[in-house]
Structures are given as C-alpha cells and as structure tokens.
A and B are shown apart, each in its own frame.
Chain A
Amino acid sequence: RKEVEQDPGPFNVPEGATVAFNCTYSNSASQSFFWYRQDCRKEPKLLMSVYSSGNEDGRFTAQLNRASQYISLLIRDSKLSDSATYLCVVNPSSGAGSYQLTFGKGTKLSVIP
C-alpha cells in the first residue's frame, strides 16, 4: 500500500460546482496533515492544515478520520482559479523524522467556464 494515496483525476467540473477529494494514508502513527496546491510547473503552496475536528477556510473544508486513515478536501462554489493539482501531505511521526513530509501524487482539478 502506498504511503499516501490519492485519486489522480482529472476532475473536470463547471464553475460553481462542489467537488470533493479523498486521500488515504498508511501510517497510523501520522501526526499532522495538510493540503497543498500545486499549479502547473510551480511550487507546492500550503492550502490548509487538517485537524481531527475538521476545519474550514472560506470555500474550503478539510476533514480527517484517524480511524479510517482518511483525509478529505471539499471545495464549494468552484472558481476558475481553483484549477490546480491538490496534494495530500502527511507528516509521518512526531518523533524522529517528524519533519519529513510525505506527499501524494496529487489530484488534478480543472474548473471549466
């Protein structure tokens, strides 16, 4: 099983749609979780951290289910500017190696006019 697994997509959605991405991780000891976005040929940029209680930032909602080792990202009212690849990122541990981020391959989103 891959350490961090995501549906590669692409997800092609019309403007204004709601879209959800899922991610699973294999290391049950993982401590922190993030969603990054990466535009074509650009660097990953932190979108949001993911907390057990779930968290929201404007149109973006992230959820974490530790029991199922599952992370999700919901985007409401999609904008053209949301088109990017969304990376699920896991920090594997709290001790040694807690700085190593493990990245999924990403899910590509295209928002269509």
Chain B
Amino acid sequence: NAGVMQNPRHLVRRRGQEARLRCSPMKGHSHVYWYRQLPEEGLKFMVYLQKENIIDESGMPKERFSAEFPKEGPSILRIQQVVRGDSAAYFCASSPGGQPQHFGDGTRLSIL
C-alpha cells in the first residue's frame, strides 16, 4: 500500500536551468496538493490539482512555476529558469477529497 511517492528525493540545478518534480498520489487519491518549505519556515500552499484540472494555484509564484496532473501519470511541478531563492523542500500531498492530506517525503531542490 504505497504512500505518496515523490521523485527525485534530491535535485541539484544551476541557475537558469529547469527543474521538474514528480508526485504520484496514494492509490485511490485523485486530489494532489503541492507545498513549499523554505529553510526555517513552515510549509506554504502552492497549488491544488485534480486529474487534468488546476483547481487553485493562488500560492504559486506568477512566473516560472507551473503544475499539471495529467490523466495518466504523476503530477508534475515545473520550475523554469531556476534562481537561488527556489532552493527549498517541495512536498506533495494527496487525499481522496477533503482532509486529511498525506504527504510524500519531498524533493529537496538545491540551486547552485
């Protein structure tokens, strides 16, 4: 009974490159949420998706960040032209709808 799966666990990128973070929700869960945790900060909501739909992206930076959850395959959080300030832990959570949300073990993104 696999939990929320995220990969990669660690990702290193140089400034200006693209970062792609993947998240497979728990079996039976069709709701996916992305959160970002900056060093010494609490988790901040970024985006909420259901299959093929973005429900709420109010927490996403307006530029360079995008998310999708296609009909087949994992949810993808994409960061274009990364900058040092994008260094953080990115957590994905899933639920069957409503609460509680179950979290994956995160992707730690480091920008050189």
Contacts and interface: CB of A to CB of B under 8 A. Distances in A.
Contact of A44 (B31, B41, B98, B103): B103
A4 B105 contact: no
Contacts, number: 57
A101 B45 contact: yes
Given A87-B42, A106-B42, A32 B48 contact: no
Q: How large is the interface on B (under 10, 10 to 19, 20 to 34, 35 or more residues)?
A: 20 to 34
A49 B100 CA distance: 8
A100 B48 contact: yes
A43 B103 contact: yes
Contacts of A34: 99-100
B99 A44 contact: no
B42 A99 contact: no
Nearest to B46: A100
Contact of B42 (A32, A42, A46, A104): A104
B102 interface: yes
Interface in A1-60: 4, 32, 34, 41-46, 49
Interface of A: 4, 32, 34, 41-46, 49, 87, 91, 97-106
29 contacts: A4-B42, A34-B99, A42-B106, A43-B103, A43-B104, A45-B103, A46-B102, A49-B99, A91-B99, A97-B58, A99-B31, A99-B33, A99-B48, A99-B95, A99-B99, A99-B101, A100-B56, A100-B59, A101-B33, A101-B43, A101-B45, A101-B99, A103-B35, A103-B42, A103-B43, A103-B44, A105-B40, A105-B41, A105-B42
Given A44-B91, A101-B101, 8 more contacts: A42-B106, A43-B91, A43-B103, A46-B102, A87-B43, A98-B98, A103-B35, A103-B44
